[in-house]
Each structure stands twice: as structure tokens, then as C-alpha cells.
Chains A and B, each alone.
Chain A
Amino acid sequence: DTGVSQDPRHKITKRGQNVTFRCDPISEHNRLYWYRQTLGQGPEFLTYFQNEAQLEKSRLLSDRFSAERPKGSFSTLEIQRTEQGDSAMYLCASSLDGQGNEAFFGQGTRLTVV
């Protein structure tokens, strides 16, 4: 297993278009998190899954954002009707349940909305 992978690494889209990002966590990890990181800021929590259940989505930035993890394996994050303010790095992380378990991060998807 090579760690958490995210696809694509970079995405340039026109304002108003929809985009979808994919995250493949470490295979045995049951928890999966999405974060957004803007320039000069630390990552900001968006949502998380335990297996296929999305247990927290109130932090998603607007109703244009949605995430799925249909079979408890990979996850997708979709942004509809993109805006320039959506330009950011979108990070995925996964971990096991348990005290102090490390969250492993992917390299992120950098979104640029033009």
C-alpha cells in the first residue's frame, strides 16, 4: 500500500463548472476526512466518514459541496457551480479508529477556478 492517493493533483476549471475529486485511503483505514487549505492557512475540516457513513457534514462550506464514500473505500468530493473563492488545495486524510492514531494525508488536489 502506497498511502493515501488523490486524483487529480491539479484541476483548472471555469467558474460555474462542476468538479469532482477522488481520494483513495489506506486500505484498512475506516475513517476518511476531507480538508480545505487556502494559501497561508492551515487545513480546515470539511467532512468525515466512518466506513461508508458520513458522520459530519455541517462544516461543508455550502450546499454546493458534497461528498460520498459509497462502499467505505474511496471517496469523492464534488463542488457544483464553482466560484473563484473555491480555489484551494483539497486534502484527504485517513486513519484507523483508536487512541492517538495518526492521520495519513494525501498530496492533495489543487483547484484553480478561472
Chain B
Amino acid sequence: AQTVTQSQPEMSVQEAETVTLSCTYDTSESDYYLFWYKQPPSRQMILVIRQEAYKQQNATENRFSVNFQKAAKSFSLKISDSQLGDAAMYFCAYRSSAFFYGGSQGNLIFGKGTKLSVKP
């Protein structure tokens, strides 16, 4: 079974600075998707960025980028130029690509999350 581990329960960053959130996962599959989701207080979870395991190039979305190390099974999120609105819980999640061949539920497997605080 796949597992996702986020070893940083809380992180803090100064506004305009850069912060990196860590995520490791365990799987025997070679093809899968990885996601970072953001959950602001009392708000719904929204997708920040996704990475296909078969792509070597790291995904980037504006101020958000990932460092995907497939061999090490590591998937960290870097937030540049941090803003007050970035304060939230961040969840790393895994989804098997077998979903696309009808062999899996397609559900997400989440880590426990990292609470990010942004100091003005």
C-alpha cells in the first residue's frame, strides 16, 4: 500500500521569503501522480500543483514549484515570495495512475499536512 509522509507539522516563513515543505512517499508503482493541496482555515482544499511521475521536469505554477526526486521518493514544495494569503495547511497527496486504466479507485492518499504560517 502507498503511504505519504510529511515530517514537518508546522513551518513558518517571513513574508516575501522562500520556504520549502517536505514530502516523502512509498510506492512500488512506477507511474503515478503527486499533488500539493492547500487548505486555508475554514475553506475548501484547493490544488496548488501536480506532478506526473513519468515527467522528469519539475512542475511550476507561478510562485510554487516542486523538487521531484523519483528515486528518492521525495516531492517537496517550494513557495517563493511568500504572501500572507499563503498561510494554510498544505497536504501532499499521491494517486495511482492505475486509475486511468480502470484498475483503481482514483482516490488520493494524503500526508498529515504541514501548517504554514506567514509572518508580516
Given contacts A3-B44, A105-B46, contact A43 B105 (CB under 8 A): no
| A contact residues, range | 20 to 34
The reply on B47 being an interface residue by CB < 8 A is yes
Q: What is the total number of residues of chain B having a CB less than 8 Å from a CB of chain A?
A: 26
Q: In the complex, A102→B109 CA distance in Å?
A: 14
Q: What residues of chain B have their CB less than 8 Å away from a CB belonging to chain A?
A: 4, 6, 9, 33, 37, 42-47, 50, 52, 91, 93, 97, 100, 105-113
Q: In the complex, A45→B99 CA distance in Å?
A: 15
Selected A-B contacts with CB under 8 Å, 21 pairs? A31-B106, A33-B106, A33-B107, A33-B108, A35-B107, A40-B112, A40-B113, A41-B113, A42-B93, A42-B111, A42-B113, A43-B110, A45-B105, A45-B109, A48-B105, A48-B106, A56-B105, A91-B45, A93-B45, A100-B52, A102-B47
Q: How distant is A65 from chain B, measured CB to nearest CB, in Å?
A: 16
Contact A99 B100 (CB under 8 A): yes
